[in-house]
Every structure is written in C-alpha cells, then in structure tokens.
Amino acid sequence: MASKKQRIGVLTSGGDAPGLNAVIRAVVKSASSLGWEVIGIHDGFEGLLGTKSYRVLTNADVQGLLPRGGTILRTTNKGHFGPRRSDELSEADPYVRAVKSIEEMGLRALITIGGEGTQRIALELHKLGAPVIGVPKTIDNDLAGTDRTFGFDTALQVATDAIDRLHTTAASHNRVMVLEVMGRHTGWIALHAGLSGGADVILIPEIPFSIERVAEKVHARDVQGSAFSIIVVAEGARPRGGQEMYIAEGRLGGIGHWVGEQLERLTGKDVRVVVLGHLQRGGSPSPYDRLLSTRYGAAAVQAAARGIYGEMVALRGQDIVTVPLAEACGYLNRVRPHSDLVLCARSLGIVFGDEL
C-alpha cells in the first residue's frame, strides 16, 4: 500500500515584513522536492480556529513570489492568542483549539514565520505538543537567538535612501530635518541607517537623550559652517526621565514631532519632520533579505525532515542553525550602548543625546 503523503503547514503572523513571500516560496519548493504537501494557513494563527482557513500551496502557487512584498497568506497581530491564562486544557482555549486543528489537518510540522510575539505563541503550542518550527522575521531586528531577522535589511535600505534625500533638501534650505523610523523597543534601524546615511544625531530607545544636548549639536554645526542637520529618531526613543510616546493605545509615534518642536524652540531654526512609517515594511525585499528568507525557508523544511520541533531557524555567523524557541522568546536583542557600532558613531561626531 502507498504510504500517506507527508504534510506540513506554514503561516505568517504579526506585522508584515519584506521577505515573507520568499520564505513561503522556499518552504513550498523544498517540501515539494521531498514529495511533501504544503498547507498555507490564512491570517496567522487565526486560520487554525473555527472553520479553519487554509489552502494547499503548490510550486505553481509560488511562482514569481521571490521579489513580492507582503504575504500571500495574509497576517494578523495576535488575534485570539493573548497570554495563556491557565494551564487547564479547556476547549475554549484558542491554544488548545489550534493544537487540535494541527492534529486534524495531519501536519507533521507547522512553520511559524514571525517576530517575538509569534514565536511566543508557537512556544505555547509546542508545550501543548504541536510540532512547530519558527522562522525569525521583523524589520526591527530585535528577535533574540539569531544574528539577523529578515526584513531588516530592506527597511534599512528604505531608511538610508530617505536620509540621502533629506540631506539634499536640508542643505538647500539650511534646515533641520528629523526622520522618525520604526523600532519599537530597539534602535537597530535608526543606528544602521543613521550611520549609513551620515546623520548628525541618532536617538534610540536604548540611550535616553537630552533634547538640550541635541540642540547644542545643531548649534555647533551652524557655528562650524554646516547650517543644516539630520536627526534620525527611532519611534521608541524617549527623553531622559520621560516615557515613550504613543499616538493611540499600543501604537508608538509622536517622538519625531516632539523632537522637531523642541528643536525649533531651542535653536530658532526651521525644522521639518518626516515619519517614514510603513514605507519601511512594504515593497520588494532586498537581495540580502531574499537570500536570508530563502535560506530560512529551506532550513525550516530540513528541520521538519529531521524531526526538530520547538526550535527556530537562526543565522549564526555564516551558518543557519536552529535554536530553542524559549531562547528566542527569552529576551530582546537590543543595541548595546557600548557596542562597537555606537562607539564608531560617536568617534565620527554623531551625537546620541546622552553626552555630557
């Protein structure tokens, strides 16, 4: 008798990032070369609830997907999957229902593509017996356990391009330009883009700043004959002794405009503020992100073939390895204030707003 065809599932969860489709493509192509069937689950973990929403993905379905932004499976933020309230195995518990769906669908593995929130949900499902394998995604690059998440490089490219463009208009008008970039808890995009684009000031969540110190830097540049300045600020940055700023419940934003208003007041200069927002998340992935996503997708299928569950594929040096999901969810990968990158920026005269 012919043996039953092996099946794996794949879903995308949390905020989208360039490279999601490239991972899906790699999963489908690698699984198909093993003779396995791939089920694409819609709307993140939500697709496992209720009547279930999914479809079979074939090689034909992923044709042309490598450069395409977004996710063909769509995504949701957490949805019904908040923190588990008790260890009781109640039928009302979305985690219990999701594990039941995975069993009913006959999945030998479920590949969960997402950031820290996603991998936390995956870990809970694994504790209940689900065969999950994580793939690390987020433009913020703040997921622990891996050297790099896919999506970050593309966001960095968009942010650097924005700084380049702001430079020419800032210099033409002798203005201060403030660019607010994403980075909920960490300043990776601001730091890398600020260095790559030649910013004068970089403000990140890991280093609370003094706005007076930032104003001094702007003034010092004026005195030196550079009458314009570029300030890059991560959305999660905050003034010393102050709090992160929100535009709505759970939605960070507003720090760029606050910095702009304060600098206008303190320096008397003409200031303009640009909030880059979701331009950093949309569109085609960079070659680096396409490659990383492809490697992650293929490695996740390899992990399923070897029966490695409860782990996340990760980049370590030049290699793709797997690390326990518990490690990936244990802490956030933050910029170290005394790291080589920060010291490099300081040695170039870039101000972080904490200088004495």
Amino acid in position 140: D
* Residue 233 touches ligand F6P, criterion: CB under 6 A: no
Instruction: Single out the segment in contact with ligand F6P by CB under 6 A; choices: 83-91, 161-169, 178-186, 195-203.
Output: 178-186
| Separation between Cα atoms, residue 54 and residue 296, nearest integer Å | 22
The contact mask relative to ligand F6P for 277-316 (x = CB under 6 A, - = no) is: ----x-----------------------------------
Collapsing DSSP to helix, strand or coil, 41 comes out as strand
- Residues in contact with 316: Cβ distance below 8 Å, sequence separation at least 6, in sequence order: 146, 147
Binding residue for ligand F6P (CB under 6 A) from 118, 138, 157, 322?
138
Residues 266 and 5: their CA atoms lie apart, in Å, by 68
Binding flag, residue 328, ligand F6P (CB under 6 A): no
Given candidates 140, 153, 180, 289, which one binds ligand F6P under the rule CB under 6 A?
140
CB of 206 or CB of 235, closer to ligand F6P: 235
Question: In this chain, which of 9, 114, 183, 205 binds ligand F6P, going by CB under 6 A?
Answer: 183
Q: Give the separation between CA 345 and CA 144, rounded to whole angstroms.
A: 23
What's the distance, CA 115 to chain centroid? 6
Closer CB to ligand F6P, 130 or 292, in the complex = 292
Question: How many CB atoms are closer than 10 A to CB 53?
Answer: 15
Which residue reads 């999506």 in tokens? 151
Say how far apart CA 345 and CA 217 lie, in whole Å: 14
- Report which of 49, 101, 46 is spatially closest to residue 78, judged by C-alpha positions: 46
Asked if 140 is an active-site residue, the reply is yes
Q: Does 137 bind ligand F6P (CB under 6 A)?
A: no
Interface residue with ligand F6P, options 11, 110, 170, 182 (CB under 6 A): 182
- Closest residue by beta carbon to ligand F6P: 182
Q: Can you give the C-alpha Rg of the chain in angstroms? A: 22
Which of 43, 93, 140, 200 is labelled catalytic?
Answer: 140
Mark the segment that binds ligand F6P (CB under 6 A) among 136-144, 210-218, 296-304, 323-331.
Answer: 136-144
CB atoms within 10 A of CB 4: 7
Nearer to ligand F6P, 26 or 252 (CB): 252
Q: Tell me the catalytic residues.
A: 140
Q: Which residues sit at the interface with ligand F6P, rule CB under 6 A? A: 15, 115, 138-140, 182-184, 235, 252, 281
